[in-house]
């Protein structure tokens, strides 16, 4: 029987260890046919050569001239996969994710059973603790729920989100570390929005799907593991926080259509959070210099 062809796009930037671990876990998947594309996002440490030496022709290595960010980098890999293989499904995953050998089949089954679903996502367990806190978002945000979700409060409020972990269910949005798309629907929404560099991708995707009448399915039968933050911790904390702030502002204006007072409240909320994180690192002044040019 012919196996389903699935394109897998993995964005890589410096530091080969996580990407090698991710690829090693994918090599154990044998119930679907994987076309794996590693997008090197302008690495400068020779790690792309290490990956090529380790995996050879088992992966396609796409070299980008510079770090284009999450959306543009992944879109380059997605377009490459579409041109080279035209897979029915596309999995876009962080390089700090490892998979279980049978993770793909439940995702494909969930999409196949729901023609209006464009995106399926697995249960994501945090490593090393294997805790399920990266939960999907069940309903679209309003200002109050966004304020809760955009801060550490979400770890508390997520306890009250009722999810039946025995079966798949429709949700509004899912964490951005592992997406499984139906290719034709992803093409319909024109991939990731390239006007962001880092941050808010999962909410923008959720809004693009909602606006097109398409949906998202959470599939707890599929399990992956995520070393949270490892893909972005190579950036200076001040630079990363500023990138998140810019992407969030764009998302709030272009997709959620929040008013200026609402955005001002969210900015104040975020600033308190980031100040608390950056002050002990000695990066608060650098962050303030960067975000001074970011309007509300």
- pTM for the predicted model, two decimal places: 0.94
Phi, psi values for residue 182, rounded to 5°: -80, 125
Q: Please tell me the distance from the alpha carbon of residue 220 to that of residue 259, in angstroms, as a whole number.
A: 36
pLDDT value, residue 274: 86
* Mean pLDDT in consecutive groups of 10 residues from the start of the chain, 296 residues: 90 96 97 97 97 97 97 98 96 97 98 97 90 85 83 59 82 96 98 96 97 97 93 88 93 96 91 87 87 70
Asked if residues 226 and 176 have their Cβ atoms less than 8 Å apart, the reply is: no
Distance, in Å, from the CA atom of 41 to the CA atom of 72, rounded to the nearest integer, reads: 9
Tokens, residue 245: 């702030």
pLDDT number for residue 291: 78
* Length, in residues, of the chain: 296
Give the list of residues 6+ apart from residue 83 with CB closer than 8 angstroms, or none.
none
- Residue pointed to by tokens 């949700």: 171
Give pLDDT, residue 227: 93
Nearest Cα neighbor of 139 from 122, 152, 153, 157 is: 157
pLDDT at 284: 86
pLDDT of 134: 82
According to DSSP, residue 98 is labeled E
pLDDT for the residue numbered 294? 67
Q: How far apart are CA 217 and CA 220, in angstroms?
A: 10
Residue 21 CA to residue 202 CA, distance in Å, equals 24
Within 160-225, where are the H helices?
A: 183-188, 201-211
> Can you give the pLDDT at residue 112?
96
Confidence at residue 218, expressed as pLDDT on a 0 to 100 scale: 97
Identify the three-state secondary structure at position 49: helix
Cα 185 from chain centroid?
17
Where does CATH 3.90.550.10 sit in the chain? 5-226
Q: Which CATH number fits domain 5-226: 3.40.50.620, 3.90.550.10, 3.40.50.720, 3.40.50.2300?
A: 3.90.550.10
pLDDT at position 189, please? 98
With beta carbons less than 8 A apart as the criterion, state whether 273 and 152 touch: yes
In the chain, what is the greatest distance between 2 CA atoms, to the nearest angstrom?
60
* Residue 58 DSSP label: G
């Amino acid at each position: 029987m012919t196996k389903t062809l699935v394109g897998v796009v993995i964005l890589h930037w410096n530091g080969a260890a996580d990407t090698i671990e991710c690829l090693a876990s994918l090599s154990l998947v044998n119930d679907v046919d994987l076309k794996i594309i590693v997008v090197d996002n302008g690495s400068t440490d020779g790690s792309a050569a290490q990956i090529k030496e380790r995996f050879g022709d088992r992966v396609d290595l796409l070299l980008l001239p510079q770090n284009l960010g999450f959306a543009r980098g992944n879109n380059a890999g997605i377009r490459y996969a579409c041109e080279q293989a035209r897979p029915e499904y596309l999995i876009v995953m962080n390089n700090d994710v490892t998979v279980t050998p049978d993770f793909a089949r439940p995702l494909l089954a969930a999409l196949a059973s729901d023609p209006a679903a464009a995106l399926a996502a697995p249960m994501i367990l945090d490593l090393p603790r294997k805790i399920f806190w990266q939960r999907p978002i069940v309903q679209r945000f309003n200002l109050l729920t966004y304020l809760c979700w955009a801060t550490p409060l979400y770890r508390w409020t997520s306890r009250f989100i009722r999810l039946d972990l025995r079966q798949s269910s429709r949700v509004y949005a899912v964490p951005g570390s592992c997406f499984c798309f139906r290719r034709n629907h992803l093409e319909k929404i024109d991939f990731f929005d390239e006007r962001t560099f880092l941050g808010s991708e999962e909410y923008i995707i959720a809004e693009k799907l909602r606006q097109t009448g398409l949906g998202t399915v959470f599939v707890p039968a599929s399990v992956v593991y995520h070393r949270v933050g490892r893909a972005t911790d190579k950036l200076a904390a001040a630079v990363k926080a500023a990138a998140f702030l810019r992407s969030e502002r764009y998302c709030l204006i272009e997709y959620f259509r929040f008013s200026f007072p609402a955005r001002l409240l969210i900015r104040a909320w975020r600033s308190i959070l980031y100040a608390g994180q950056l002050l002990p690192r000695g990066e608060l002044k650098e962050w303030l210099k960067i975000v001074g040019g970011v309007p509300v």
